[in-house]
Amino acid sequence: MKPFLQKLSGIVGNDVKVDEPLMLHTHFKTGGPAKYLAVAETAEEIVELVKAAVEHHVDWVILGGGTNVLANDKGFDGLIIKAANRAIEIDESTGRVVAQAGALSSAVARKTADAGLTGLEWAISLPGTIGGAVRGNAGCFGGETKDHLMDIEVFDAEEERVKRVSKRALQMSYRDSKIKRRPWVVLSAVFQLERADREVTNRRIEEVLKCRLASQPKNAKCAGCAFKNFEFENESELEKLKETVGDAIPPHFLEQKRIPAGWLIDRLDLKGTCIGGACVNQAHGNFVTSDGTATSDQIAELLALLKTRVRNAYGIQLHEEIQYIGFPRS
């Protein structure tokens, strides 16, 4: 047995696989084999796996629920660490919630609502994990991860130590955080919620679920929103858009200084556009789905097409929410 594989087996036992198809672990159901894939059920295992990869000079990526990722059809020549540390601790008396990075965001939303705690009901619609939600400051239906986050525990792969980082130090903004620019691995997150009537919190859960069903693809092979909405500092950045659409820009977009990517794609009549088995969803322009036959290359080509069409028409550069795995770094 190779030394690195032996090291991985010593950490997670039989929960390590060689040449594991990534299509089995992503929502798009695409992606070639990962050289190594290890399932970590504790934060300690995640730390040891990262340390092993660094020691053996092996590229590594943390994978949560498989949303917001696109894996190369050729695979990934490194270690995929699948976070499966899913413990959730809830103190109903204080409203303090500690969620491990591998916990599903929807599970945290449901359990806190059942406990009569409010603040995370919106997260019932997130298909990913808490670790991913913190990294990208995930949000929808009026809520964002940062709203009730207190601090997180990370493993700093550069300093090779576990440390606690405050929300303020994370510099969280729209779909972004400092974690994206540091070799940090989220291990757990602490939220501070407020007490509320259980009937109210659970009713809010059901309302969010209804909104999701009405506005998002149902039972589709989809990674979530394809692009971040476009944020601008002043309206001069919208000069070309205004020239093209005139007064059609809804006033609340201008007030919020944010233009939804789906609205831009819809305006260009791109719903239903397909490349191979990858298509822009008919219900919402910011969702790209696979019919089960799409390759990762076809999905990547469709994303590039949408970006080009929006840039050419409106002078706006869209940026993916999707993380690419195994693709050449630009």
Predicted local confidence at residue 330, as pLDDT = 47
Residue bearing tokens 């990858």: 278
**Which pLDDT tens digits describe the chain residue by residue (330 residues)?**
589 999 999 999 999 999 999 999 999 999 999 999 999 999 999 999 999 999 999 999 999 999 999 999 999 999 999 999 999 999 999 999 999 999 999 999 999 999 999 999 999 999 899 999 999 999 999 899 999 999 999 999 999 999 999 999 999 999 999 999 999 999 999 999 999 999 999 999 999 999 888 877 777 899 989 999 999 999 999 999 999 998 899 999 999 999 999 999 999 999 999 999 999 999 899 999 999 999 999 999 999 999 999 999 999 999 999 999 999 874
pLDDT at res. 210: 92
Report all structural domains of the chain as residue ranges with CATH numbers, in order of start.
3-83 (3.30.43.10), 88-207 (3.30.465.10), 217-325 (3.90.78.10)
Neighbour-count burial of 93, counting CB atoms closer than 10 A to its CB (0-12 exposed, 13-18 middle, 19+ buried): exposed
What residues are paired with 88 via a beta bridge?
99
C-alpha 317/C-alpha 227 separation (Å) is 10
Q: According to the model, what pLDDT value does residue 269 have?
A: 96
- DSSP lists the bridge partners of residue 258 as 231
Tell me whether residue 132 is exposed, middle or buried, using C-beta atoms within 10 angstroms of its C-beta: 0 to 12, 13 to 18, 19 or more: buried
| Max CA pair span of the chain | 66
- pTM of this structure: 0.94
Confidence (pLDDT) at 238: 94
Of the CA atoms within 13 Å of residue 56, those in its CB half-sphere come to 19
